[in-house]
Structure 1
Amino acid sequence: MKKEDCFYLGKIVSKYSFKGELLIKLDTDEPDLYENLDSMFVDLRNNLVPFFIESSQLHKSDLLRVRFEDVDTEADADALIKSDIYLPLDLLPKLEGDKFYYHEIIGFKVSDVNFGHVGTVSSINDSTAQVLFEIDRDGTEILIPLNDAFIVKVDKDKKEIILDTPEGLIDLYLD
């Protein structure tokens, strides 16, 4: 399994017991969707390795307590701490309406109600305080905040996003 075919679910943050149990901090708004998985991929030295789950249960709000098969000791568990956890993309719940996952909109065409055609979504930058659309306009990068107030429509069938951005925002990148 390749990372691009998966989504990030969370990170192993600590041991839970002396018998190899681990706590995974889930990066989701709906942790209960992931309580009864059969397996997950652990990122070990940039390789996704499948681990089968013997038992799991939610622990506090966003922590999943997991016991993997063949992880029976503290040393086994220690080797996995701080590892990222991934699941195949087909396990993501489907989103309705204008809601989307960031990976879904890469390559979508972007238009603005006042400006017209802006460009194509090249990526989503979520490493800053404000999540940004990174839009390629013929080699020029345009950054637009991913703000619900700016999004008029997301058409998944036509692979198009229509925005209504503040006047002059797009022009800042073109002068």
Structure 2
Amino acid sequence: MTKEECFYLGRIVGKFSFKGEVLIKLDTDEPETYTEMESVFVEYNENLVPFFIERSYLHKSTLLRAKFEDIDTEEDAEDMVGADLYLPLNLLPELPEDKFYFHEIIGFDVLDEDHGNIGKIVSINDSTAQALFEINKDGKQVLIPMNDEFIQKVDKKNRQIRVVTPEGLIDLYLG
């Protein structure tokens, strides 16, 4: 299993008990969706290693407290702190037609109401306060905030996102 075949689930942020339990910060708005997992992939030395889960439940509503098979001591758990967790893409919950996962829309065309096709999405920049579509238009980079007010329609079938951008935004990039 490679990272390309998986989605990022979260990170082990701490150990919980002397019996090898860990606390996981899930990268989701719905952590309760992931309390019944049988296994996860843990990133070790740039490899994804499968770990089976004996039990897990929400701890203080946002962290997942988990006990992995064969992780039975505080020292074993300490070795896992900081590790990223992944699940296969086929385990992502199905989203409504107008919602999307970031990885799904890479390669989609972005169509602006005034400017027409402004290029293909090459990546999503979510390191800023507001996530941005990173679009390539004939070698030029165009950045558009992923704002619900700008996104008119997500057409997964035709691999297009229709947007209405503020006046002047596209001109900043394409002149």
TM-score (normalised: structure 1): 0.98
Task: Report the counterpart of residue 152 of structure 1 in structure 2.
Answer: 152
Matches within 5 A, 1:1-175: 1-175=1-175
Rounded to whole Å, the distance in 2 between the matches of 1:29 and 1:173 is 33
- Spell out, residue by residue over 1:50-77, the C-alpha distance to the aligned partner (whole angstroms, 9 max, x if none): 0011111111111111110110111111
In the alignment, structure 2 segments of 5+ residues that lack a partner are none
* Conserved 8 A contact 2:37-2:53: yes
Secondary structure of the equivalent of 2:97? coil
Secondary structure of the equivalent of 1:79? helix
Q: Which amino acid aligns with 2:43?
A: D
Rounded to whole Å, the distance in 1 between the matches of 2:32 and 2:116 is 42
Rounded to whole Å, the distance in 2 between the matches of 1:79 and 1:161 is 43
Q: Percent identity?
A: 64
RMSD: 0.8
Q: 1:82 deviation in Å?
A: 0.7
Q: Which amino acid aligns with 1:16?
A: F
TM-score (normalised: structure 2): 0.98
Displaced runs of 4 or more, over 2 A: none
Q: Which amino acid aligns with 1:86?
A: Y
Q: Which amino acid aligns with 2:106?
A: I
Q: 1:97 deviation in Å?
A: 2.4
How many aligned positions are there? 175
Q: 1:138 deviation in Å?
A: 1.1
Q: 1:27 deviation in Å?
A: 1.2
